Amino acid sequence: MRCSGYSNINNANYFVHFIASIMGLLLSKIWSLFGNEEHKLVLVGLDNAGKTTILYQLLMSEAVHTSPTIGSNVEEVKWKNFHFIMWDLGGQESLRSAWSTYYTNTEFIILVIDSTDRERLSITKEELYRLLAHEELSRAALLVYANKQDVQGALTPTEISHHLNLTCIKKHKWQIQACCALTGEGLYQGLEWIGSTIKSK
- Residue 25: inside a domain: no
pTM of the model: 0.81
pLDDT of residue 71: 85
Q: Which residues are annotated as a binding site for GTP?
A: 45-52, 91, 147-150
Q: What is the dihedral of CA 193, 160, 127, 74, to 10 degrees?
A: -40
71: containing domain: 37-200
Q: Is residue 159 part of a domain?
A: yes
115 three-class SS: coil
- Grade residue 20 by pLDDT with cuts at 50, 70 and 90: very low
Closest CA relative to residue 47, chosen from 133, 127, 152, 109: 127
Number of structural domains in the chain? 1
Q: Look at residue 31 and tell me if it is in a domain.
A: no
- Binding positions for Mg(2+) are 52, 69
pLDDT at 63: 85
Residue 42 lies in a domain: yes
Three-state SS annotation for 2-54: HHHHHHHHHHHHHHHHHHHHHHHHHHHHHHHHHHCCEEEEEEECCCCCCHHHH
Share of the chain above pLDDT 90, in %: 76
Would you list which residues are annotated within the binding site? 45-52, 69, 91, 147-150
Question: What's the pLDDT tens digit per position in 42-100?
Answer: 999 999 999 999 999 999 988 887 888 888 999 999 999 999 999 999 999 999 999 99
Residue range 89-112: average pLDDT?
Answer: 96
Question: Residue 2 domain-assigned?
Answer: no
Q: Please report whether residue 128 resides in a domain.
A: yes
In a domain, 7, yes or no: no
pLDDT of res. 190? 98
Judged against a pLDDT cut of 50, whether residue 9 lies above it is answered with: no
What CATH number did the domain enclosing 48 receive? 3.40.50.300
Contact 18, 85 (CB under 8 A): no
| Catalytic residue IDs | 92
Mean pLDDT, range 108-118, rounded to an integer: 99
